[in-house]
Amino acid sequence: MREIDIYQVDAFTDVPFGGNPAGVVPDASGLSEDTMQKIAREMNLSETAFVVDTRGKGPADFDVRFFTPLNEVDLCGHATIGAFWLLAETGVIPPGKNEVRVTQSTGAGVLPVDIVFGCEGTPARVMMTQVPPRRLGELSLDEIAELERILGAPQGSILGFERARPQIVSTGLPDLIAPVSSREALLSMRPNMAALTDFCNQRKVISVHCFSMETLDPRATVHCRDFSPAVGIPEESATGTASGATGGFLVMNGLIPLEEPVTRIICEQGHVMRRPSVIQVEIHMAHEDPQSILSVRVGGSAATVIKGKIRIP
């Protein structure tokens, strides 16, 4: 039997038991796809990241694969934050004077990851770059009404948001971004997960990411909930990829003031699950034009809560 190191890292929080937990295998060299899937199922977290150090050997510094308990996905925001926080914390990525940039090869392409170190040489923040947002579709009024019923949302709470309809937006993964008229309506949702799985599969989206512009923290921009039953995650306490897509949605639909060259957004999530999360989003633009987005960065802090070894054949 072979033993490998495995960790649980809570991402998008600075304290244990907050944020979104991710499994991280910092050295997945030689692991087969089947073994990685079994480890992810054993961890039973929304995602587990498997890292291989490829510095000097490939197109990126690290090769990273992400598995839910059910299947592999191209990209995962909170598992990226957790994985690179751990690599910085354990010294695999040494500290620099300011931000240290490395690259990860993922199913969504080769993407930069920036680590900000504190004065003691420990990580303070990890920011992952996502691809510029693409609008892949918009729901009809009939589809919005169906979505309200499936989510158990108050009638008219999504239809009633008149400034933008729900849209499928991708910054690496296709997410359905759905604005909701109030935080009360958002928190009242009790989705029919079987029906929502079918709804997502029919539209080929990873999640339905709902947000309200009414927040608990006055410094936050939006309060969010994310439902991803189609990939085995009924609800997630922090969702990095969908937060990037939400930032793109807010900018492209003119829902927030723009700042040149970077519009900063704070997403709060996970409160209904008693795992409060803070996700920082940066929208980089060529100029103050909603259609001139150059890139999206998503990140925050993390806390390593479990270190162990797993035995594999």
Q: What is the mean pLDDT of residues 54-80?
A: 94
**CB neighbour class for 79 (10 Å; exposed up to 12, middle 13-18, buried from 19):** buried
Cα angle for residues 267, 205, 41 (degrees, 5° grid)? 85
pLDDT higher than threshold 80 for residue 290: no
Distance from C-alpha of 178 to C-alpha of 56, rounded to nearest angstrom: 42
Distance from C-alpha of 307 to C-alpha of 89, rounded to nearest angstrom: 13
Judge contact between 298 and 286, C-beta under 8 A: no
What pLDDT digit, counting tens, does each position of 171-218 carry?
A: 989 999 999 999 999 999 999 999 999 999 999 999 999 999 999 999
Specify the pLDDT at position 231: 86
Banded model confidence at residue 232, pLDDT cuts 50, 70, 90:
confident
Specify the pLDDT at position 110: 94
User: What are the angstrom distances between the C-alpha of 72 and each of 33, 41, 48, 67?
Assistant: 9, 11, 10, 4
Q: First-to-last CA distance in the chain?
A: 5
Specify the pLDDT at position 292: 82
Residue percentage of the chain with pLDDT more than 70: 99
Helix (H) or strand (E) holding 95: none
pLDDT higher than threshold 80 for residue 255: yes
Which residues are part of the catalytic machinery? 47
Q: 25 Cβ partners below 8 Å, 6+ apart?
A: 4, 5, 6, 7, 31, 36, 39, 48, 49, 50, 51
Rg value, the chain, Cα: 19
Determine the 3-state secondary structure of 87 from DSSP: helix
pTM as predicted: 0.90
Judge contact between 200 and 209, C-beta under 8 A: no
Q: What is the mean pLDDT of residues 140-153?
A: 98
Distance from C-alpha of 161 to C-alpha of 141, rounded to nearest angstrom: 12
The residue with tokens 């400034």 is 163
pLDDT higher than threshold 80 for residue 287: no
Judge contact between 205 and 175, C-beta under 8 A: yes
pLDDT higher than threshold 90 for residue 96: no
Dihedral angle over CA of 96, 14, 227, 294, nearest 10 = -30
Cα angle for residues 202, 206, 209 (degrees, 5° grid)? 105
Nearest CA-CA partner of 303 in 5, 6, 12: 12
Strands 207-212 and 174-179, bridge-based pairing:
parallel
Dihedral angle over CA of 32, 34, 40, 41, nearest 10 = -160
Banded model confidence at residue 98, pLDDT cuts 50, 70, 90:
confident
What pLDDT digit, counting tens, does each position of 20-43 carry?
A: 999 999 999 999 999 999 999 999
